[in-house]
A and B are shown apart, each in its own frame.
Chain A
Amino acid sequence: MSAAPILETFDPVLLAVLSNRMDAIVREMTNTLLRAARSAVIAMSRDFSCCLVTGEGDLLATAEAAPVHVFGAHLQARSMVDLHPDLSEGDAFLHNDPYLGNTHPADHTILVPVFCAGMHLFTAVAKAHQADIGNSIPTTYHASAKDIYEEGALIFPCVRVQRDFRNVEDIMRMCRKRIRVPDQWYGDYLAAIGAARIGERRLKALVEQYGVETLRAFIHAWFDYSERRIVQEIRRLPPGRLENHARHDPIPGVIPDGIPLKVVLEIDPASAYIDIDLRDNPDCLPCGLNESEACAINNVMTGVFNCLEPDIPHNAGTFRRIRVHLRENCVVGIPRFPHSCSVATTNVGDRLVNATQAAFAGIGEGWGLAEGNPSLTSGCAVVSGEDARHGNRAFINQMFLMGGGGPASPVSDGWINLLIPVGAGLLYRDSVELDEQKYPVLVKSLRLMPDSGGPGRHRGAPGTEVVYGPRARPIRVVSAPDAWQTPPRGVRGGHDGTCSQDHILRPDGGETKVEGFINVELQPGEFIRGRDCGGGGYGSPLERDLQRVLHDVQERWVSAGQAESVYGVVLTRDARGEVNGVDVPASEARRSALTQGGAH
């Protein structure tokens, strides 16, 4: 490679200094929100993100934020400026409007305009997925809602909730009269305000240290630098058109045929642009699965970034080179009011991330990724009811007990704890003990499932099985699992992962399968069992390194049976019958026979 391009005008040292400082501020905001929040979905599983946007409305710094949350925060920051000509210091806004730039209504976003020397220089953003938002049923994922009215969410189109650093109590009272377990919501709200205010304090101190002009110049230089990085990455790619298809599985009675999806990518290394076209997709549907504009953009961008150098900064400068083409009234486009976007961040979104990253595998060996688990099973359901241990006090929360098998890559096996593609492995897991202390549930078992990861030269991560149920009083479990028919696909000869499954287990030993949408009340003695998908494999399993197969068997990721039949490996055993090695010549012979026999 030739010498790196010289950074123009702005001092490269100061560029590094200030960009690092911006990420440090985002991290501090993140830590504040995590540690101060109340619902497990935020404080334990970290279903939230913080970021910084410039006064002009460009995404500036994201640190370790979830892409699904923050790519698009600029749309919200711009709406704040557009709607509020009297914007001033001490303001904070609540924004959860999916028709105005938010992801989905459950993501309550706090926006704080940061003023320096009287100028609106930045917006500090903290977006957190709430345990409840006052929907018509106790879930933040209302998949069967025909429209926003049936969904029932309180929508805040960038509404002022603080003025002069004090709450607008009217709004607080409104929320408390409508959102389930209001104290939990209020605590999460306070934590988000704290996060944004911490961001505000730090930014003001930074501007004091360096001056407004230096920071303005930095912002331009940082975007230019980021753009150069993505330009270099795109120039590395071969030119061409990649097309991939995906499908969200049916929800009986709501979307009986599922949702077919299509992603088209045009890579042009000469001009250094990637164009993604989502316009050839169905119109908005009478269900909660419609994507918001922010999600449609960020899901395909996530798929692209997953296939590029992971070290590239992700901000408005980088985004200049990826153009996403959407149309109005499209299930993966710009939603038309009053279609519901209740489930916009996950299900269809996960299919888009998968389809995009798997499309890159079409370029050739070494490119792209397989698909990861796209299903939020009952292991990640919203659970509610009354807690007999505390005077039948009401509770509601989204559990994060799932694993979610990650996709295999050209060089590695899949990531355990991916959760779902839009979660990107960033979210934390619940502690069983903490869940049981905080909520009246009993977790019966929680384990990874052998043989569930899609076989391949690199193997998809195994899926997880979770079994839990109520204690003294019934609980309601609501969830919208996908992939009960269409599993995460393998690529380049890699096999698919397993499908997801949810069953209600009765005390008499009977089981009832639940498909597409779960909304059940479990009685004491009943349990629900969720099995999420293993990730897809990459490359032929007959090419998998023999030692990796041996390790998989010894570590019980893969059964001896699958090792022999699918991976074509002949194992050896010690006197106690424990697998202790691989018969290399016999394995090679078996693999060659399997290849010729067209088994693969």
Chain B
Amino acid sequence: MTYRIAIDTGGTFTDAVVADASGILAIGKALTDPERNFVGVQNAIADAAGQLGYAMRELLAQTDVFIYGTTRATNAIVTQRTARTAMLLTEGFPDILVYRQGGKLNPHQLNVDFPQPYIPRRLTFEVPERIGAEGDIIKPLDEARVVDILAQLRAAQVQAIAVCLLWSIANPAHERRVGELIATHLPGLPYTLSHELNPILREYPRASSTAIDASLKPLMQEQLRLLEQNLAQSGYSGDILVSASVGGVMHVEDMIERPIYIVKSGPAMAPIAGLSYAALEAQGDNVVVVDTGGTTFDVGLVRDGRVTHTSETWLGEIYTGHLLGMASVDVRSIGAGGGSIAWLDAGGLLRVGPQSAGARPGPACYGLGGGAPTMTDAALVLGYLNPQHFLGGKMTLDAPAAQRVVAALAAQIGKSAEDTALAIITVANENMIKAIQEITVKEGLNPADSLLVAGGGAAGLNIVPIARSLGMRHVLIPRTAGALSACGAHFSDILREFNASSFASTANFDYATVNATLATLQAQLDAFATTLRRRGLRDFQQSMSVEARYAGQIWELQVALRATSLPDAAALQELIDDFHAEHERVFAVRDPDNSLECINWRARLSAQLPRGVQAPDSRQRSHPLQPRYLRDSHFGSLHAEHTRAAVYYGEDLMPGDCLTGPAIIEEPTTTIVVYPYCLATVTPYGHYLLEVQA
């Protein structure tokens, strides 16, 4: 018997999900230790191992795949505990990281300080040199000056260096030489060169990703090396893989080279889980995946069987945060979840969030001193939660406290406590609907065509009305919903993306240059595949795409290539046709007489990890299904006749079971409310499929 272990180290909890060839077997949880990372990892594995009757070492000895995910890099950035990093930029352009790309959310808000740059100006240095737009050298590199700067960096006790020179994507000679000088004069100091990390047009996103990557190198390299050592000492001898923001996993050595890929890697795994569960249950290949925690609501997308990516990933708020500058799984997060606080603004409008009561004091019903009504309190008032059986009985909720805080709000808006609680859920729904629309409707996709996969502890409370409002007919809630990200890691592939910036116009297409670029990308894919083959992997998939635009446009649309080269006019015409269709789908117009400009060429390789075939849930019902009891619950005036919901424990439900709403399913990590206009079925694999009536 061989096992696979996936770890997700969050800010509060570390999850360990253990699987074997028949699927997920156990979910372990332990508190994260921010100082000694391996303590949380070890305890979570031990918890899961115990459920399977092993000691930790025994489990690790029988494990052949270990996947590690962590929010450590994200948290280090958020709390400004990354390395002391210097930024080297082309002379004359020292403020690229200060300006960012401009833009602001509220035109009339002028009473906030402008955010600090990712790297302070005092650690930003100008390198005398200049390369032109065509790769021409306008001003040669002043090497003596670079050596001077490096001496200053040594004196300033800098721990890492980011180098981003203008047009290094057209001619990397200067950046490369600066890298050599760093290696000579400051041997051993980690550094990142922009053209190597992220060769894209536009200096801000490229500089930003270079700065972020360099700043993470000392910390993440140390942490990952330590993890390798600790695992080896604990008896693990297999490959160590790390979750990446691109939605796959990378070998630990590759992550050590490019730690930027670990940023935001946690939420990126949830859509992978959604995709896998949907495929398993044969529910189509268009999926919206949501993860509702206590504080945040993450939304990701699967389209045509693929997880959707974005090249615009902000750490923090759009415009004022820091741009990751590279593709990542497109996960949008908003401040909404079980802990979101309900309040009235000055005009009397009901709002829910973005403030959250968090874990402490938490919702009023946690009894930890929380005094503001939250979505969880509203759910308790409505009878959706069982105060005695919350989290499978691990926690007792204070129902009178929830009633009290919701009633106080009710008095202000002149409604009953129940109607107010319904209103809180409804407004929270609306925020979440908006987040889902941002990623679907805004991209020209109709959510009604998709399956909704919902994970996270609070998802089951309101996912049905959300689905209904968006016209989505089916919701799948995995039994393991509480650890969706770590589950996703089990379904992920080894991923690697290469890209090359090479301009080509279809009006005068340079077949030789483009095909040479594509051949270079293919060679990179092949080289990577070779190293994977040496590690015993066999199952590869590759795809190529181009970011193109109409002649004169500024932003590109990504369009898949049908083959690995564009040999002739017919192949080019196919690409042009595909672009027109995509443009009309997204922007409602096309310009059929115009030519295209191809900007960036992307190549992507995925290698499937050995994974078992998930076995169906083989349990069979021996006696008729009975609810544990009936509970008073409220679904609004439209469903006034439904006031008694049948309550089931998850452990009582078997594949094929079918429940008509109103009903409530209580699982150890989540509670699912089956609304009156909804039908719940237990799938052959033991998950819950909700059918929502319009």
Which residues in A have some Cβ–Cβ distance to B below 8 Å?
Answer: 1, 3-7, 12-13, 15-17, 20-21, 24, 27-28, 31-32, 34-40, 43-46, 64-67, 183-184, 186-187, 190-191, 193-195, 197-198, 201-202, 225-226, 228-229, 232, 302, 305-306, 308-311, 314, 369, 389, 400, 403, 406-407, 409-417, 419, 424-429, 431-434, 436-438, 442, 444-448, 461, 467, 471, 554-557, 576
- A residues near B551, Cβ cutoff 8 Å: 183
Whether the pair A407, B110 counts as a contact (CB closer than 8 A) is yes
Q: B426 contacts which of A1, A13, A35 (Cβ < 8 Å)?
A: A13
In the complex with contacts A12-B349, A13-B350, A38-B108 CB distance below 8 A: no
Given A64-B107, A310-B106, A427-B102, A191 and B589 touching (CB < 8 A)?
yes
Asked whether, in the complex, the Cβ of A44 is within 8 Å of the Cβ of B110, the reply is: no
The minimal Cβ–Cβ distance linking B682 to chain A, given in whole angstroms, is: 32
**Chain B residues in 8 Å Cβ range of A21:** 434
Known A6-B348, A31-B442, A555-B121; further 12 A-B contacts with Cβ < 8 A: A4-B347, A5-B348, A184-B552, A198-B588, A232-B347, A310-B111, A409-B110, A412-B113, A416-B98, A428-B103, A434-B554, A446-B93
- Contact residues in B for A201 (Cβ distance below 8 Å): 588
Given contacts A36-B583, A187-B553, A432-B93, contact A46 B112 (CB under 8 A): no
Q: What's the Cα separation between A547 and B428 when bound, in Å?
A: 41
Are B92 and A446 in contact, with the CB atoms below 8 A? Answer: yes
Whether the pair A20, B430 counts as a contact (CB closer than 8 A) is yes
Per-residue A-contact encoding for B520-551, CB less than 8 Å = 1, 0 else: 00000000000000000000000000000011
Q: Is B304 an interface residue (CB 8 A)?
A: no
B155 contacts across to A, CB distance below 8 A? 576
A20 and B104 form a contact (CB under 8 A) = no
**A contact residues around B557 at 8 Å (CB):** 35
B349: chain A residues at CB < 8 Å are: 7, 12, 15-16, 225
Q: Say if the beta carbon of B232 comes within 8 Å of chain A.
A: no
Contact flags (1/0) for B97-141 with A, using CB distance below 8 Å?
011111111111111111000001110000000001110001000
What residues of B have a CB within 8 angstroms of the CB of A467 in the complex?
92
Q: With a CB–CB cut-off of 8 A, which chain A residues contact B95?
A: 446-448
Q: Are B166 and A36 in contact (CB under 8 A)?
A: no
Once the chains bind, are B441 and A37 in contact (CB under 8 Å)?
A: no
A424 touches B104 (CB 8 A): yes
Give per-residue flags for B400-430: 1 if the beta carbon is below 8 A from chain A beta carbons, else 0. 0000000000001110000000010011001
- CA A226 – CA B345 in complex, angstroms? 12
- The 4 A-B residue pairs whose C-beta atoms are closest, nearest first, are A445-B92, A43-B554, A424-B107, A429-B102
Instruction: Report B469 CB to chain A, min CB distance, Å.
Output: 9
Q: Which residues of B contact A308 (CB under 8 A)?
A: 108
State in angstroms the CA–CA spacing of A474 and B538 once bound together.
58
Decide: A7 near B591, CB < 8 A? Known: A16-B427, A64-B105, A427-B102: no
Whether A433 contacts B434 in the complex (CB less than 8 A), given A4-B345, A4-B347, A427-B103, comes out as no
CB distance from B588 to the nearest CB of A (A): 4
Say whether, besides A64-B106, A426-B107, A556 and B122 are in contact (CB < 8 Å). Answer: yes
Decide yes or no: A436 and B132 within 8 Å by CB, A16-B430, A427-B103, A431-B202 being known contacts.
Answer: yes
> In the bound complex, do residue A444 and residue B92 qualify as a contact, i.e. CB atoms below 8 Å apart?
yes
Q: Are A428 and B102 in contact (CB under 8 A)?
A: yes
A35-B587 contact in complex given A12-B349, A15-B349, A311-B345, C-beta closer than 8 Å: yes
Q: Which of B428-442 contact A (CB under 8 A)?
A: 430-431, 434, 437-438, 441-442
Closest A residue to B591 using CB positions: A190
Q: List 18 A-B contacts (CB under 8 A).
A: A1-B346, A7-B349, A24-B434, A36-B587, A36-B589, A43-B554, A43-B555, A44-B554, A45-B102, A67-B108, A232-B347, A311-B106, A416-B99, A424-B104, A425-B102, A431-B203, A446-B93, A554-B120
Q: How far is the CB of B121 from chain A (nearest CB, A)?
A: 5
Q: Is the CB of B555 within 8 A of A34?
A: yes
Measured between alpha carbons, how far is A5 from B434 in the docked complex, in Å?
Answer: 26
Determine how close the nearest CB of chain A comes to the CB of B503; give it in whole angstroms. Answer: 8
Inter-chain residue pair count (beta carbon < 8 A): 240
> Number of B residues contacting the other chain (C-beta, 8 Å)?
72
User: Is B236 on the interface with A (CB-CB < 8 A)?
Assistant: no
A13 lies within 8 A of B423 (CB): yes
Instruction: Confirm or deny: B569 has a beta carbon within 8 angstroms of a beta carbon on chain A.
Output: no
Q: Is B552 a contact of A35 with CB atoms below 8 Å? A: no
In whole angstroms, how far apart are the Cα atoms of A37 and B100 in the complex? 21
Partner of A406, one of B106, B110, B134, B503: B110
Contact with A along B659-683 (1 / 0, CB 8 A): 0000000000000000000000000
Known: A4-B346, A12-B350, A429-B101. A369 touches B553 (CB 8 A): no
Name B585-628 residues within 8 Å CB distance of A: 586-589, 591, 594
Knowing A6-B348, A46-B103, A228-B348, the reply to whether A442 touches B413 (Cβ < 8 A) is no
Give B565-597 as 1s and 0s: 1 = Cβ < 8 Å from A's Cβ atoms: 000000000000000000100111101001000
Give the docked Cα–Cα distance between A411 and B413 (Å). 33
Give Cα A12 to B427, complex, Å: 10
| CB-defined contacts of B413 to chain A, threshold 8 Å | 4, 6-7, 12
Q: Cα distance A416–B349 when bound, in Å?
A: 33
Q: Quick check: is B344 within 8 A (CB to CB) of the other chain?
A: yes
**Which of A36, A232, A416, A429 is close to B114, meaning CB atoms less than 8 Å apart?**
A416
Instruction: Considering the complex, give the chain A residue whose CB is closest to the CB of B552.
Output: A38
C-alpha gap A36/B591 in the complex (Å)? 11
Residue of A nearest to B441 (CB): A28
How far apart are the CA atoms of A197 and B122 in the complex, in Å?
48
**Which residue from chain A places its CB closest to the CB of B437 in the assembled complex?**
A24
Q: Are B555 and A35 in contact (CB under 8 A)?
A: yes
Q: Is B201 an interface residue (CB 8 A)?
A: yes
CB pair A193–B550 under 8 Å, yes or no, is no
CB-CB under 8 A for A306 and B110, given A431-B203, A434-B201, A444-B92: yes
Interface contact A461-B588, CB-CB below 8 Å:
no
Q: Shortest beta-carbon distance, B554 to chain A, in Å?
A: 4
Q: Which residue of A lies closest to B94 (CB)?
A: A447
Per-position binary interface string of chain B over residues 148-190, scored 1 when its CB falls under 8 Å from any chain A CB and 0 otherwise: 0000000100000000001100000000000000000000000
| B204 sits at the interface (CB 8 A) | yes
Given contacts A16-B427, A447-B92, contact A310 B108 (CB under 8 A): yes
Asked whether A38 and B553 contact (CB < 8 A) given A32-B587, A424-B104, A426-B104, the answer is yes
Known contacts A406-B110, A461-B114; is A38 also within 8 Å of B554 by CB? yes
A249 to B692, CA, bound (A): 65
CB nearest to A14 among chain B residues: B426
Among B344, B348, B427, B434, chain A packs the most CB atoms within 10 A around the CB of B348
A357 to B122, CA, bound (A): 34
- Closest chain B residue, CB of each to CB of A428: B102
Q: Which residue of B lies closest to A224 (CB)?
A: B347
Give bound CA distance, A447 to B90, whole Å: 12
Assess the A415–B346 pair: CB atoms within 8 A.
no
Instruction: From A43, A67, A306, give the contact of B553 (CB < 8 A).
Output: A43
Q: How far is the CA of A314 from the CA of B109 in the complex (A)?
A: 13
Chain A positions within 8 Å of B589 at CB level: 36, 190-191, 193-194, 197
Distance (Å) between the CB of B451 and the closest chain A CB? 21
Given the complex of chains A and B, what is the CA–CA distance between A40 and B95 in angstroms?
A: 21
* Closest B residue to A33 using CB positions: B587
Measured CB to CB, the nearest residue on chain B to A413 is B113
- Docked pose: A190 CA to B426 CA in angstroms: 38
Interfacial chain B residues near A20, Cβ < 8 Å: 430-431, 434
B134: chain A residues at CB < 8 Å are 389
Residues of A within 8 A of B167 (CB): 433, 436
CB distance from A453 to the nearest CB of B (A): 11
The answer to whether A202 and B554 touch (CB under 8 A), given A46-B103, A426-B103, A429-B102, is no
Contact partner, A415, options B114, B553, B587, Cβ 8 Å: B114
With A36-B587, A225-B347 as contacts: A13 and B555 at CB distance below 8 Å:
no
Given the complex of chains A and B, what is the CA–CA distance between A515 and B108 in angstroms? 31
Report the Cα distance A16→B347, complex, angstroms: 12
Query: A425 vs B103: C-alpha distance in the bound complex, in angstroms?
Result: 6
User: In whole angstroms, how far apart are the Cα atoms of A194 and B586 in the complex?
Assistant: 9
